Structure 1
Amino acid sequence: MPSIFKASPSWSIETNHLHISYFMHDSLLHSQFLVNLWNSKEFVKACGETGINTAEKASNFLRTRVHSDYARNGYSMFLVSLKPDDHATLAESIPIGTVSLMKGEPPNAYLAPDIGYTIVADESGNGYATEAAVALLEYAKKEHGVNAVLGFCDKEDTHSARVLQKIGLEFRGERELRVFGGKESAIYALPWMSKDLTVYGVHD
């Protein structure tokens, strides 16, 4: 059983425009932001409904899933906040999305984490998903030795595909993945990863 993870509310990965920080399950601001983001029409269209439609449910998800992943892997889903100016602190910045490296618990998990990102509609198209994803990949490699990363998106989702390509992943075909309920998904991986993705547990 993973140990209790003590996430620092002031820790962040800082980029030119963003702070990438831990989600705090006891923060109403964080929980309500996740509810608003995941129930937006843009998110539901791209990813479907999550069932997380109250701050209480969001807090429970952050505590039981996200913080458990922090404890086990050192990474999970992070909050992306936009700095109002170059030198703004995390506390001065405004939540605009999420960026994640998700790796489930064996044996029902891929052997490499998959990267994901969601930015609110008002800030979409400004390059923030790419900026956040690059920063998280660099952090995960440096601090946790993550060298293999997967990316999945709907085969019609050209926006997500462009971001995956911008951060250095390459298209590896389409498969009906059981983790997505058998839905056909586009698969991406870092160039140096094996061409045989079953090595990483990716199969129909």
Structure 2
Amino acid sequence: MSSSSLFTASPTFSVPSERLHISYFLPESPAHCAFLVKLWNTEDFIKSCGRTGIDTPEKAFNFLRNRVHADYARNKYGIFVVSLKPYENASLSESTPIGTVSLMKGEPPNSYLAPDIGYAILPEETGKGYATEAGVALLEYARRELGVDSAFGFCAKDDPRSARVLEKIGFESRGEKKLKVFGGKESAVYVLPGMRQDLTVYNLDD
């Protein structure tokens, strides 16, 4: 039995914020599969994160079922859907997916002792503060409900837009490090306030 089969993602679960809903990805939802393909094959996403190879709904279904739900089962968090409310107090079912927000811890040995936050928003919806709003809401939920009080933010050294989002969410810069999760590539490292200065305690490479 796979770890993902031990987790049942409620289709009504949501972390609401002022303008957004943050909810589980559902492999059985054709809309979720189609949205993941659309988002991850935009020019913006490919430029920032590279090609994932998930270019059909079938591949999205397998990824969500086998990888994303395994993360939910293992850590109680992972990649979430960000949906835009059409009006104040709109329900999740009335809202439209516009991106993702995530807390990812990875699998040993390529894992850290604190998760890292990530986000991706459709190009037509960027520049409106949605990534910041989603990141703040997810971190507040993770702290309140899951006891997550430490988190990293990673971005390319030459990506000021992502750096600004991390700073708006509340992260502090800790310079640049070569990260094993990115194959030893040097990246900008951000942390939540109050985290230890010696990042090696989180299994982060120097």
TM-score, scaled to structure 2 = 0.96
Residue among 69, 79, 82 paired with 2:81: 79
Match of 1:100 in 2: 102
User: What are the residue-to-residue correspondences of 1:157-176 with 2, within 5 Å?
Assistant: 157-176=159-178
Task: Note if contact 2:110-2:180 (Cα within 8 Å) is conserved in structure 1.
Answer: no
| Cα displacement (A) at 1:157 | 0.8
Structure 1 CA distance, aligned partners of 2:54 and 2:177?
Answer: 27
**Separation in structure 2 between the aligned mates of residue 193 and residue 87 of structure 1, nearest angstrom:** 35
In structure 2, C-alpha distance between the alignment counterparts of 1:44 and 1:76, rounded to whole Å: 20
Corresponding residue number in structure 2 for 1:40: 42
After superposition, the C-alpha distances for 1:140-163 in whole angstroms (9 at most, x for unaligned) are: 001110001001000111111011
**Corresponding letter in the other structure for 2:56:** T
Q: In the alignment, residue 63 of structure 2 is paired with which amino acid?
A: F
Give the corresponding residue for 2:22. 20
Alignment of structure 1 residues 95-174 onto 2, 5 Å: 95-174=97-176
Whole-angstrom CA distance in 2 between matches of 1:33 and 1:63:
15
Identity across matched positions, percent: 64
The alignment of Structure 1 onto Structure 2 pairs a total of residues equal to 204
Structure 1's unaligned 5+ residue stretches are: none
Measured after TM superposition, the shift of residue 103 of structure 1 is: 0.9
SS in 2 for 1:87: coil
Query: How many Å apart are 1:182 and its aligned residue?
Result: 2.4
Alpha-carbon shift at residue 181 of structure 1 (Å): 2.1
Q: Structure 2 CA distance, aligned partners of 1:195 and 1:33?
A: 39
Distance 1:105 1:181, change over 3 A: closer
Q: Secondary structure at the match of 2:120?
A: strand
Measure, in 2, the Cα distance between the counterparts of 1:108 and 1:185.
16
Q: Distance in 2 between matches of 1:65 and 1:28?
A: 17
Amino acid at match of 2:91: T
| Cα displacement (A) at 1:121 | 0.7
Q: How far did residue 21 of structure 1 move?
A: 0.5
Q: Which residue of 2 aligns with 1:200?
A: 202
Structure 2 counterpart of 1:70: 72
Q: Secondary structure at the match of 1:91?
A: helix
Which amino acid in 1 is paired with 2:39? L
C-alpha displacement at 1:38, in angstroms? 0.5
Q: Distance in 2 between matches of 1:106 and 1:50?
A: 21
CA RMSD of aligned residues (A): 1.1
Q: Deviations over 1:131-189 (max 9, x none)?
A: 00000000000111000100100011111101111111111111222211222210000
Deviation, structure 1 residue 115? 0.3
Q: Which runs of 5+ in 2 are unaligned?
A: none
Letter paired with 1:23: F
Amino acid at match of 2:188: A
- Per the normalisation by structure 1, the TM-score is 0.96
